[in-house]
A and B are shown apart, each in its own frame.
Chain A
């Protein structure tokens, strides 16, 4: 059985933040990627660079089942193949024009970076629902120390914020920063969720400004 500890699935975003017909930039250890959802709901991950003139595809737009570059409108299907070059409407784009793609999985309201050669399923968190994502200008270790919680697997922290049990899914970002996807109890009231959200911002301030104190 493959070890999931060695190369865990990486959380990318919360499903709610990526409705149909939208695209968002994602940082992964392989480089910047564009995560997008088609009008029909299919999720795709593409390299964040149009091979025509190098424009970031995460600035592009989704129409139907294709992602288009904002610069010249070149569009790509979910497999990364170029479908259309608007400057030459009658041209069938050569199959060689394509962008690299990656695998993603979606479970429990969280979108994960998957690996084509790894059949692992994303972890599930019974009793918890996604609340929000936050960027931290510090590493995962600093967040862990500041939270004072316990590790529940690679990149997964359990702790307490504003009196509620929470789960933090941590994804390392560029230059020692982190992206945190925060899960709150499914039965939390609206007021409790707001309190957890604010407590997460307080945690961020503590982690970013008082790292030495928190570590002590």
Chain B
């Protein structure tokens, strides 16, 4: 097993607010690591043999890398807008490939069946044509003009609405979703999925949100997102094979899966194959 090109990327390994002097242990791509806060308030991440790893703090989390990232952590400018509530959802461990977790996050066609009566409901199952591109300058996958009918799009939504979405993949195990904001029409709620690859078939998922919602209690916001992701986990732990197939032939996409098709193509182009299955087996 080789980590390949994904070694030099940034990965979330903990919530910044939860790391203290006592420190915590975790795993990154099979390597045990430890993080703690120094006396000076600095976050230190080290491997078991004492090698100091690069650290960056952003989007509520501590990010590190086993390699040497040649670019800063991706920005989410919308999340910095004043008036947003930043929601630290916490962590959900999932027995699946980190890439499968991201791909599921990019998918809307499952809403009526997996998030029934919340993010989707029959008979509103149709996925209308949307636009997908790999933005060369940013080197990111983007899906825009995505629309879907939702019975309860967010904790702050009272009834069914057609929700607009944009999806963005700025790093191989991270996705940012921009979604119609029920409380403030014209603005986008930001919902992210940051995935920590523990191994190729096991991950810790750190959802994080930056919302315009002054009303809903923080606990309810966290519970809503945890409920949604636990529904996803029942899928993610039962896909065969566990790793994401990057070669065509193993799985059959349709027009609704254009984001997934672009994501797989982008992964393959960059040799982002940690958690991928390359040859049909």
* Contact partners of A85 in chain B: CB under 8 A: 254
A86 touches B122 (CB 8 A): yes
* Shortest distance from the beta carbon of A58 to any chain B beta carbon, whole Å: 9
- Of A10-18, A47-55, A203-211, the segment with at least 4 beta carbons within 8 Å of chain B is A47-55
B254 touches A71 (CB 8 A): no
- The answer, yes or no, to whether A2 is at the interface (CB within 8 Å) is no
- Inter-chain CA distance A26–B228, complex, in Å, is 29
B126 touches A71 (CB 8 A): no
B235 touches A55 (CB 8 A): yes
Beta-carbon nearest neighbor of B255 in chain A: A88
Q: A55-B235, A88-B256 are in contact. Are A72 and B240 (CB under 8 A)?
A: no
* Number of residue pairs A-B, CB distance < 8 angstroms: 65
Q: Among the listed B112, B122, B239, which residue makes an inter-chain contact with A53, where contact means beta carbons less than 8 Å apart? A: B239
- Inter-chain CA distance A97–B253, complex, in Å, is 11
A89 touches B109 (CB 8 A): no
B113 touches A70 (CB 8 A): yes
Query: In the complex, which residues 24-47 of chain A have their Cβ closer than 8 Å to any Cβ of chain B?
Result: 32
- The answer, yes or no, to whether B70 is at the interface (CB within 8 Å) is no
Interface size on A, residues (CB 8 A): 22
* Shortest distance from the beta carbon of B205 to any chain A beta carbon, whole Å: 18
A73 touches B240 (CB 8 A): no
A73 touches B126 (CB 8 A): no
- The answer, yes or no, to whether A87 is at the interface (CB within 8 Å) is yes
* Contact partners of B254 in chain A: CB under 8 A: 52, 85, 87-88, 91
* Contact partners of B252 in chain A: CB under 8 A: 51-52, 97
Q: Among the listed A32, A48, A52, A73, which residue makes an inter-chain contact with B251, where contact means beta carbons less than 8 Å apart? A: A52
* Shortest distance from the beta carbon of A63 to any chain B beta carbon, whole Å: 10
B: residues with CB less than 8 A from A are 107, 109-110, 112-114, 122, 125-127, 234-235, 238-241, 245, 250-256
- 19 inter-chain pairs at a CB distance below 8 angstroms, sorted by A residue, are A32-B240, A48-B240, A49-B240, A51-B251, A51-B252, A52-B253, A52-B254, A53-B239, A54-B250, A54-B251, A55-B239, A56-B239, A71-B113, A73-B125, A86-B112, A86-B122, A86-B126, A87-B254, A97-B252
**Given A86-B122, A88-B255: 17 more A-B contacts, CB < 8 Å:** A48-B240, A54-B239, A54-B240, A55-B240, A70-B113, A71-B114, A72-B107, A72-B110, A73-B113, A73-B122, A73-B125, A86-B109, A86-B113, A87-B126, A88-B127, A88-B256, A97-B252
